[in-house]
A and B are shown apart, each in its own frame.
Chain A
Amino acid sequence: MNSNVNRKIASAVLIVGLFAVWEVLCLAFGVSDTVLPRPSQIFVTLWQRFPALWPHTLQTLYTTMLGFVLGVGIGVLIGVLIGWSKLAYDVAYPLLVGFSSVPKVAVVPIFVLYFGAGTVPAVLTALIMSIFPVVVNVATGLATTEPELEDVMKTLRATKFDILWNVGLPRAMPYFFASLKVAVTLAFVGSVISETVASNRGIGNVMMIASASFDVPLVFAGLFILAALGIILYGVFSLIESRITGWAHRKTEFAMG
């Protein structure tokens, strides 16, 4: 456990050290805050503008989480469907690969066209960003069930649903949780992109406006908020994952952070 604590201290030192180097370099070379503000300036801006930033933070969090939850729900459904049946897997896979290789940014204008600027396109963009990793991981988890395990169940005359419920889904859980961590970060990307392009609310929009008026410390403050939200959500899902699927990681110590 001691080495674990040491590692955590080391990564905290790394982060603080990075900020310190940044600060010192900016001071040493006299970098203007319209180019690259110092971390201390950014934190001051964060503190002073917090009342104004907070509603936007909530908005971004809201669109991200709503899109993420819906995306995961749909992703699980599709994943179970194509992981369950070999036929569906073979038939649907090319389509899914095509779907996933379309840059999601490109669909934002379409959403704006249909639903107008604002919350809806942000939610939808977060949604489609988070579907694919969930689908692929759930389907993989189901499709890689050991054949002997299935044989045991078949000799018991288990129905397909019995096998799915008792073997397939629990087995796919580690894959599912691994995909949640990826999906939640992608959902963030999606909602911020959409806010940047077409919204009057959210951190993405704040950053857009701030950069137009050369308020660079505010742009970086927005960036810091996004980073903090991303880390928090990633951490939450890592924690849930290690609680629920500890059996799959018993040999490696999964330290979060």
Chain B
Amino acid sequence: MTSGTNVVLIERQPEPSSGEAVPPSHVDSYVELERTTVTYGRAPNLVHALSETNLRIAKGDFVALVGPSGCGKSTILKMVGGILRASSGFVYVAGREVGAEPVRIGMAFQNPTMLPWLSIRDNVMMPLKIVPPFRGQYRKKRKGEFRDRVEALLAQVGLKGFGDKHPWQLSGGMLQRASLCRALVHDPQLLLLDEPFGALDQFTREELWSIMQQLWMTRRPTVLLVTHDLREAGYLANRICVMSARPGRIVDDRVFDAPRPRNLAMTYEPDFVAMTQRLRELIVEARSDEPAVA
């Protein structure tokens, strides 16, 4: 398997084109940021979180956003999720301005944010209680179809039999798996991941990469992943965008279409290491006004 891994790097301008693993993105971009800026606060204390950013993401693509901390990666995620409004410019999801189209969105954070009073099963089921069309069927199917659906998903991430447990009875890694299940249970078209594996130990993290890849390959949602881990970005994403320090903007945008399913051995191959090395340099450059850490 390892010998068959073929790493292809295509450097390019921040303008989408299609690589092998990317569906035809010039036809329709599923997520689009057009001259989007974000500022916080008022005149004297105005903070530019994001300077004019253009970004187009094709339907079913897996895009990773990397960059120094505080560069506005999470800001982009929140705008696409409809939690935060752009100060100027536009954010489109599914061809319409964000919020206009009822897109099913799943979101997972570094913190699993499980509700402590609910069992793991009820936590995972929460989106089905809120999001249409499941919402209307919730009472009827809660103990039947929906329950089976949650159980199947829990089994897929290695939490079989933990549905009745409460959050405090599970470890951090297990909670993060449950959090992924909650993000996916309503079959989202768009999955927003804000460093979901950031707080986990190396082994758990790598295991969850593999699970995440599996889930993406079977369901093919459009994924936007914010991460600090360049190996993670390379393992999971089809495309990696590097952002500059605040006020953030995208300084590098590259397609990375190694064949799938990818494995951990791939991340130690020279080509892959060279790519992460290159990304690292870009990030160091991007934060050059800060004291550089070699």
The interface of chain A, by Cβ under 8 A from chain B, is 146, 148-149, 151-158, 162, 166-167, 170-171, 173, 245, 247-248, 250
Contacts and interface: CB of A to CB of B under 8 A. Distances in A.
B4 interface: no
Interface stretch (B37-45, B107-115, B154-162, B283-291): B107-115
Given A155-B82, A250-B168, A148 B109 contact: yes
A151 B107 contact: yes
Contact of A156 (B115, B116, B131): B131
- 5 closest Cβ pairs, A-B complex: A155-B81, A156-B130, A155-B107, A155-B105, A247-B117
Contacts of B109: 148, 151-152
A166 B116 contact: no
A167 B81 contact: no
Nearest to B103: A157
A149 B108 CA distance: 10
B129 A166 contact: yes
B166 A148 contact: no
Given A148-B111, A166-B130, A155 B116 contact: no
Interface string B113-135: 10111000000001101110000
A171 B115 CA distance: 8
B117 A151 contact: no
A157 to B, nearest CB: 7
B168 A247 contact: yes
Given A166-B126, A247-B117, A247-B166, A157 B131 contact: yes
Given A148-B113, A167-B115, A170-B117, A154 B168 contact: no
Nearest to A146: B113
Contacts of A153: 130
A250 B170 CA distance: 13
B168 A156 contact: no
A248 B116 CA distance: 8
Contacts of A151: 78, 81, 83, 107, 109
A25 B105 CA distance: 74
Interface string B155-193: 000000000001010000000000000100010000010
